[in-house]
Structure 1
C-alpha cells in the first residue's frame, strides 16, 4: 500500500471558465492534491532528493492555475494531474479543483471537480 503526500488549499488566481468575463477578469481557484508515493527511500536516507519536493510541486500547480486559460475545470484538473505524474515516484494522484466563485444562478458555496489518475 503506497504512502500519501497531500497538499491542501493551494490558492491561485486563474482566468478559467466558460464565460468570457471569467477569462477576462479571473477568479480564485483552490487545489488539493494527494500523491501516492513510496516514502521509504526518503525515510531511510532523510534526503529530500529521495521524495517529492512538495514546495516545488506547489509552485508548479500555481503556474498551471495562473497559466493558459481553459474553459472547463475538468481540463484544469487534468493539466495539474499531468504535472504531478511527471515525477516518476508518483504512482497516482487525486486532484480536486475548487471554484468557489463559480457563476451559478442559485447560491452555491463551492464547486469542485475531483479526478484520479495513475501512471500508465
Structure 2
C-alpha cells in the first residue's frame, strides 16, 4: 500500500474525476453476463493539494492519470452482478492504490432502465 496521506479536518481539498468510462461485466441477467457494459464513474477524493500547490512538484500531487488507468484495468478484469459490489471493491482499490481515505463515488449504468438517462448509486466511504 502506498504511503498514507494525512488529511486533517481543516483540509477541504478534493480531486475529482468526472465521467470516467470503464468497461466491465456487470448485471444479474443472463444476457448481461455474456457482454461488457460501460459504467460512468464520478469520483471525488479528499486530497491535500497544498504540498503540490506550494512546490509545483508533480510528485506531490495525486496522479489522477495513473489512478484512472488503474481503475480501468481493474474494471476490465471484474465480473459482478451488482454495481453496489463493484462500488465497494472500487473504493477499496482506490484506498490501496493511492492511500485516499475519503472517497465519494457515483456510478451511472445508463440504459439499465428504459426511458431513463441513468440509474446507479452514490456512495461515500471513509477508511
Paired residues for 1:51-70 under 5 Å: 51-70=61-80
Segments of 4+ moved more than 3 angstroms = none
Instruction: Please report the TM-score for the alignment, with normalisation by the length of structure 2.
Output: 0.83
Quote the Cα distance in structure 1 between the aligned partners of 2:36 and 2:55: 43
2:36, 2:111 → 1: CA distance? 10
Please report how far the alpha carbon of residue 108 of structure 1 lies from its aligned counterpart in structure 2 after TM superposition: 2.1
* Aligned match of 1:47: 57
1:15 is matched with which residue?
25
CA contact (8 A) 1:64 1:79 kept: no
d(CA) in 1 for partners of 2:93, 2:61: 16
Note if 1:110 corresponds to 2:100.
Answer: no
Shift of 1:113: 0.8
Q: TM-score, normalised by structure 1?
A: 0.88
What are structure 1's unaligned runs of at least 5 residues? Answer: none
Query: RMSD over aligned Cα, in angstroms?
Result: 1.4
Q: Which runs of 5+ in 2 are unaligned?
A: 1-10
Aligned counterparts of 2:92 and 2:24: Cα–Cα separation in 1: 18
Please name the residue that 1:24 is paired with. Answer: 34
